[in-house]
């Protein structure tokens, strides 16, 4: 296998560091808001790495086994995608010792840590770009960037015209990764944090470094430090070009997220949902399918509760699908307790630690799904087989199979009770066998070669 063995068994949790928990107000910048205020593009709320350590019991109780962090390196923004020092933890989050302590306590508790790699662009405060601004044509770093004019205008309003920048934002100058010295710098950064103990990299907009040799060398360097390090790419359209032994183990699986939302909101019928799911399953090797980072939300999307109109049954159905689908399911911080929010920055709210503000029913349900998934290897490693695709009645069902064990997931995405008949032989269930829905504890009996099921409106069954 070229994919780390642990990924398909993981339950990921994404943390936007400034908004999870503030353990040390002493390192907060002057522009820190009160915790829980409406988030802005500019202001901080004070979350830090020690805060994650202090709340690790909460994550363990939920069932988390891996954390993906948005950028943690020195930067001037609350999102930290404009990095000024790739070898330093942002002082507003703590120190390298704090990060090491987080790694130690996480690893002791069976939690892996994946960090965000922003290598397409840096911030204006990055030392090499600063040197260009100061020394202009005399700078030894002038070929580290794509300059159209020297000195570049980096701070006045408007688009970046004097140099290439991400989406033409002046604050995000693009690296010249054709330059061997730039490549060496980035590869050294990748090596440094893996050597320190990070368990993998999530790569930000990697398709904007459209260079197969760059990512192949990046992979080799990371894997030389840790053969089990996970590499996951932010590729929104699910292009298989970016998956495999010369690039990434998996991708942030936004197409599956879009399909789930479309199906539950009635914008995609069951047959269209089936087509999308099969496309995602069939365009990658199986080991990469099992290494996809499957999520219903992130720092770049509307919160899943808001996307589904706050409908509790649809939320539960979405998570039931996610936890039964091949790959590594991921929870965006706060989604498990019903945090809502629109587009950035509203989707980056501070975690509400007062439990009276929590949706306990949703959290308990998600905790139950996680516990079942962790106990049932068929949900983590089993094959995927469609069983029902019924657009007229809003039904979709699939089975995961492993070593003779079958687990059937039935989704009734409609407002009516549905009676359905399923071939028991296809699921290796014999006549007279009593089967059980793991979510409701309902029992059903196999009659002959068939199973007759009654599914309530917006109900999910996990039957085995």
Label residue 11 left, alpha or beta by phi (over 0 means left) and psi (-120 to 50 means alpha): beta
CA distance 303 to 142: 41
Q: Which residues contact 210 (CB under 8 A, 6 or more apart)?
A: none
Nearest CA among 50, 38, 123 for reference residue 92: 50
Q: Which of 98, 116, 204, 340 is catalytic?
A: 204
Give the alpha-carbon dihedral of 77, 233, 327, 384, to 10 degrees.
140
Q: Which of 48, 199, 234, 459 is catalytic?
A: 234
CA distance 318 to 336: 12
Verify whether residue 161 is a known catalytic residue. Answer: no
Verify whether residue 237 is a known catalytic residue. Answer: no
**Which residue, chain included where needed, has tokens 């307790």?**
337
Q: Which two tokens stand for residue 223?
A: 């894997």
Catalytic residues: 204, 234
């Amino acid at each position: 296998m070229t994919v780390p063995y642990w990924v398909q068994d993981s339950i990921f949790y994404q943390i936007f560091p400034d908004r999870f928990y503030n353990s040390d107000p002493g390192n907060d910048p002057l522009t820190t808001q009160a915790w829980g205020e409406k988030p802005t593009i500019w202001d901080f709320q004070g979350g830090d790495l020690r805060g994650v350590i202090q709340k690790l019991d909460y994550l363990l109780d939920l069932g988390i086994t891996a954390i993906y962090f948005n950028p943690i390196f020195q930067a001037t923004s609350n999102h930290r995608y404009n990095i000024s020092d790739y070898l330093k933890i942002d002082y507003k989050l703590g120190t390298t010792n704090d990060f090491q302590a987080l790694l130690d306590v996480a690893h002791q508790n069976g939690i892996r840590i994946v960090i965000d790699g922003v290598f397409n662009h840096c911030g204006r405060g990055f030392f090499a770009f600063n040197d260009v601004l100061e020394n202009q044509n005399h700078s030894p770093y002038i070929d580290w960037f794509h300059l159209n004019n020297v000195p570049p205008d980096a701070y006045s309003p408007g688009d970046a015209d004097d140099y290439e920048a991400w989406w033409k934002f002046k604050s995000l100058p693009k690296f010249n990764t054709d330059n061997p010295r730039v490549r060496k710098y980035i590869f050294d950064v990748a090596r440094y944090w893996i050597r320190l103990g990070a368990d993998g990299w999530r790569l930000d907009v990697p398709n904007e470094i459209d260079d197969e040799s760059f990512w192949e060398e990046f992979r080799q360097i990371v894997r030389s430090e840790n053969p089990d390090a996970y590499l996951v790419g932010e590729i929104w359209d699910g292009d298989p070009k970016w998956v495999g032994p010369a690039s990434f183990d998996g991708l942030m699986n936004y197409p599956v997220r879009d399909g789930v939302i479309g199906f539950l909101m009635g914008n995609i019928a069951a047959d269209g949902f089936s087509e999308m799911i099969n496309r995602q399953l069939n365009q990658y090797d199986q080991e990469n399918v099992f290494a996809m980072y499957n999520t219903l939300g992130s720092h770049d999307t509307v919160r899943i509760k808001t996307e589904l109109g706050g409908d509790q049954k649809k939320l539960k159905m979405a998570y039931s699908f996610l936890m039964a689908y091949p790959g590594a399911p991921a929870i965006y911080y706060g989604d498990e307790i019903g945090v809502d929010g629109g587009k950035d920055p509203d989707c980056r709210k501070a975690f509400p630690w007062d439990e009276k503000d929590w949706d306990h029913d949703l959290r308990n349900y998600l905790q139950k799904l996680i516990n079942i998934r962790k106990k049932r290897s068929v949900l983590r490693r089993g094959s995927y087989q469609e069983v029902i695709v019924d657009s007229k009645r809003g039904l979709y069902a699939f089975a995961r199979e492993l070593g003779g064990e079958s687990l059937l997931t039935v989704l009734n995405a409609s407002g009516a009770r549905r009676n359905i008949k399923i071939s028991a032989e296809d699921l290796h269930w014999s006549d007279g066998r009593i089967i059980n829905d793991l979510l409701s504890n309902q029992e059903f009996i196999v009659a002959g070669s068939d199973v007759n099921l009654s599914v309530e409106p917006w109900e999910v069954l996990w039957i085995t």
